Amino acid sequence: MHVVSVSSQKGGVGKTTIALNLGLALARTGQKTLLTEFDAQGSLGLSLGLADRARPGIAEVLTGAEQLENVLQRTRDPNLSVLSVGRVDPTTVAGFEDALTRGQTVSTLLDQAKAQGFDLVLIDCPAGLGKVTTRALENASHVLSPLQAEPLALRSVGQILALVDRVRATKNPKLELLGFVLSMFDRKVAASLDVAETLWTKFPVGVVMDAIIPRDEMFLEASLRGAPVLLMQKKPPPLARRFDQLASDVLDRLAPSQKAPTEDDTPIPLLV
Ligand SMILES: Nc1ncnc2c1ncn2[C@@H]1O[C@H](COP(=O)(O)OP(=O)(O)OP(=O)(O)O)[C@@H](O)[C@H]1O
Ligand SMILES: [Mg+2]
């Protein structure tokens, strides 16, 4: 089972949006996917219209009050399940974070996910590289880091790479950087283009995911409606294709052999 932590040093860069839409895109390729939030704000649940704070979720699994299988929320896609934050009231955020970072709670949670037959777990981290994100990385196989297409974003790259190195050296030598994913890209804005150019030209090949997530009003509409962009219209909007591309790129990087060959992979006949 692969565990991908969606993490970034900066807040509001598109972690939750990417986790949600990528989760559905991965599920549609046949991967049994669990989307779980480690952010006490509960944005993932809110983005799905699961604003019911009385419903148990990860908070109860961490304390052992509930088993994972009893609190998983099934979705319209049989391969996608969601584990929302549970009964976390804003005054007990510190308690939630303590539960996530105490002892072996996260690894026990992931063992339960494995026992449920999930192929992939996507963790929606809170903003910043604090103790919750660190704990996610200590238990993840991979980290995917959204970078907002704006100049300050590049400054945060070194910080997340340093954390990945530290976690590798201390608790989790198997942790791998899946890649950075450029989000909120606007080709009409020069600064946005500059960031993309720097990423493509100055970073080693493979560090940046091929798919780019554009800035699009539909994300705001989607979060108001509590839906991934794919489900916003009867016919999937072109925006949804970006997440199919991202999912395909993610699967290639996780295990090249897992992806069924496509027509594009067929060798071109020799000319002579
Ligand atoms: N590509 C995009 N285009 C336009 N708006 C976007 C895009 N991605 C995200 N948004 C909007 O930007 C806001 C922040 O996005 P999101 O919640 O996904 O970021 P985050 O990194 O998870 O934030 P936090 O650090 O607070 O958890 C949301 O209102 C979301 O709808
Ligand atoms: Mg978020």
In a domain, 272, yes or no: no
Whole-prediction pTM value? 0.92
Residue 90 lies in a domain: yes
Q: Is 221 in the pocket of ligand 1 (CB under 6 A)?
A: no
| Domain carrying residue 120 | 2-265
| Residue 196 within any structural domain of the chain | yes
Domain count, the chain: 1
Residue 48 CA to residue 209 CA, distance in Å, equals: 25
Amino acid at 204: P
pLDDT at 7 (0 to 100): 97
Residue 181 lies in a domain: yes
What is the distance in A from the centroid of ligand 2 to the CA of 24? Answer: 16
What is the domain-level CATH number for residue 32? 3.40.50.300
Residue 101's Cα: distance from chain center in Å? Answer: 19
Q: Which two tokens stand for residue 115?
A: 């026992």
| Res 52: pLDDT | 63
Token pair for residue 45? 């649940």
pLDDT in tens, the chain (272 residues): 999 999 999 999 999 999 999 999 999 999 999 999 999 988 888 777 766 667 889 999 988 899 999 999 999 899 999 999 888 776 778 889 999 999 999 999 999 999 999 999 999 999 999 999 999 999 999 999 999 988 888 888 999 999 999 999 999 999 999 999 999 999 999 989 998 899 888 888 889 999 999 999 988 888 877 778 877 777 778 889 999 999 999 999 998 655 566 666 676 767 76
DSSP letters for 194-218: HHHHHHHHHSPTTSB-S---B--HH
Please work out whether the CB of residue 17 comes within 6 Å of at least one atom of ligand 1.
yes
pLDDT at 97: 92
How far is it, in rounded angstroms, from Cα 223 to Cα 208? Answer: 26
260 CB-near residues (< 8 Å, 6+ apart): none
Whether 136 is in a domain gets the answer: yes
Three-state secondary structure call for residue 148: strand
Residue at 270 is within a domain: no
Ligand 1 close to Cβ of residue 123 (< 6 A): no
**pLDDT attached to residue 6:** 98
Ligand 1 atom, smallest distance to 215 CA: 3
Kindly state if the Cβ of 184 falls inside 6 Å of ligand 1. Answer: yes
Exposure string (b/e) for 40-54, b if CB count within 10 Å is 16 or more? bbbbbbbbbebeeee
